[in-house]
Amino acid sequence: MVVLIDRATCDAHREAGPLEKGTLYYPEHRFNPEDLLTFIELKPFTRRWENLELTTDDLLTLQIAIMCDPLKPPVIPGTGGLRKLRFAPAGWNKGKSGALRVCYAYFEEHKTVLLTIVYAKNEKENLTQEEKNQINKLLAAIKAEFDNG
């Protein structure tokens, strides 16, 4: 398996130098990102991912980028813990402002990532207050289920 990954996504010190792209090679039968964290996709996320014509390799790249530092992307205020990550799959070629935005929640104590929303920046800049309120309720319910289940 070959996955292209933006090294700067994993670097704690992006200021140290220019952004670089590299290739992560790993034997598919020996390593899977889901072995380190559990990734759950909401159905709207999966549908949108497919509508954007993104691949399984793109999803693996996203998962690896999240695993590098799942707490790094900022939490969107008012969402109860939803984080927003800029993601540009290999070959996307739409520039920094044209990259995708992926929103996810990381339940650290359960080693679980909930992939919630994916959208192109040109589609929307930020989540609406109503979306934030709905996500806040959803994440609270999921956390309660984790804690009680």
pTM value surpassing 0.75: yes
Residue 113 lies in a domain: yes
Query: What is residue 73's predicted lDDT score, i.e. its pLDDT?
Result: 95
The separation between the first and the last C-alpha atoms of the chain, rounded to the nearest angstrom, is: 35
CATH number (domain holding residue 46): 3.30.2310.20
Among 62, 63, 56, 74, which residue's Cα sits nearest to residue 111? 63
Residue 73 lies in a domain: yes
Q: Which two tokens stand for residue 101?
A: 């935005």
Query: What is residue 128's predicted lDDT score, i.e. its pLDDT?
Result: 94
Q: Tell me: the pLDDT tens digits for 48-76?
A: 999 999 999 899 899 988 998 899 999 99
Among 55, 34, 37, which residue's Cα sits nearest to residue 107? 37
Give the residue numbers spanning the domain of 89. Answer: 33-148
Residue 27 lies in a domain: no
Instruction: Count structural domains, the chain.
Output: 1
Residue 116 lies in a domain: yes
Region of 23 on the Ramachandran plot (φ > 0 left; ψ -120 to 50 alpha; else beta): beta
Query: What is residue 149's predicted lDDT score, i.e. its pLDDT?
Result: 73
Residue 100 lies in a domain: yes
Residue 3 lies in a domain: no
Q: Which two tokens stand for residue 6?
A: 């933006």
Residue 6 lies in a domain: no
Q: Which two tokens stand for residue 40?
A: 């759950």
Residue 130: strand, helix, or coil: helix
Q: Tell me: the pLDDT tens digits for 102-139?
A: 999 999 999 999 999 999 888 888 899 999 999 999 99
* Secondary structure E strands in 20-61: 21-25, 38-41
Amino acid in the structure at residue 88:
A
